[in-house]
Copies of this chain bind each other. A is one copy, B any other.
Amino acid sequence: MKLVECIPNFSEGRNKDKIADIVSTIKNSDGVRLLDVSSDYDHNRTVVTFIGGPEDVCQAAYKACEKGCEVIDMSKHTGEHPRMGATDVIPFVPVKDVTMDECITLAGKLGKRIGDNLHIPVYMYESASTKPERADLAYIRRGQYEGFFDKIKKTGWEPDFGPREVSIKSGVTAVGARPPLVAFNVNLNSRNLGIAKKIAKAVRNSSGGYRYVKAIGVNITEKNMVQVSMNMTDYKKTPLYRVYEQIKMEAARYGVSIAECEIIGLLPSQALIDTAVSYLQIHSFDNNQLLENHIFE
């Protein structure tokens, strides 16, 4: 059974009625299941997670985006998180029996529909980007909503779909396709924040570490420990076990051990299966060996 995850981000994290209006479009969509709704007051932003078959997910995402444009007025929006549109960003993630290419096609279809029908400039990002620099969402969003009115007129800033004119009420929207993200935290038997920061620096891409790791060192006061908090942005290319082993090694340099690890939220079971196969030194493993893969519909 084909399964796609979709995690749209809306620029409303305070007004419960408006948030409920947006979420209800997904709850009322056929063939999708709502997994999570996280609203943040300071960010004034809501992240919705749902899954379903490709077409059903695409339809639910459109309906949610339409509602977001109806209830949110970007000209009055303030919040700490960078943002550029009422429906700020809509990523599709392949979860089961779906390729990244299928998610890219799906993203293109949704982007065109939003551009054509809702008259919002749409930028395709990450794996669905049409220019290399647009793969990076932060690059597209630089200057945010307020800056986009000028930026959109500049060379190289024509949207992939929709008008070359920012919607005052809805701003612009990014639609993309990306691998599943795994939120992976490593708690250290230490209260020394400096050590967690040094290890985060060692493993993250931005400072010379692994390509698909974002990492920061933080204090976990409730546990009296420090933590290397990570987003693993492509667990197939930068596997969990490799980063875990490196953190263990880097921590040992300071005489520190790993107290425990945490997976926050959802992850594809494949990320853990790959970990076990590596740890157990299984050289040849075929996913058809998993009993569950013989389930039929």
Residues of A within 8 A of B (CB): 1, 3, 5, 33, 35, 51, 95-96, 180, 240-241, 244, 258-263, 265-269, 272-273, 275-277, 279-285, 289-292, 294-297
Contact = CB atoms under 8 A, between A and B. Distances in A.
A17 to B, nearest CB: 27
Contact of A258 (B266, B273, B281, B297): B281
Contact of A266 (B33, B244, B276, B290): B290
A52 B96 CA distance: 20
B5 A280 contact: no
Contacts of A292: 3, 95-96, 268-269, 292
Contact of A260 (B3, B282, B297): B282
A283 to B, nearest CB: 5
Contacts of A33: 294, 296
Given A262-B284, A280-B261, A291 B275 contact: no
Given A262-B284, A263-B289, A266-B290, A241 B295 contact: no
Interface of A is mostly: mixed
A33 to B, nearest CB: 6
A180 B35 CA distance: 30
A266 B289 CA distance: 4
B261 A281 contact: yes
Given A263-B282, A263-B289, A276-B276, 4 more contacts: A33-B296, A96-B295, A261-B280, A268-B291
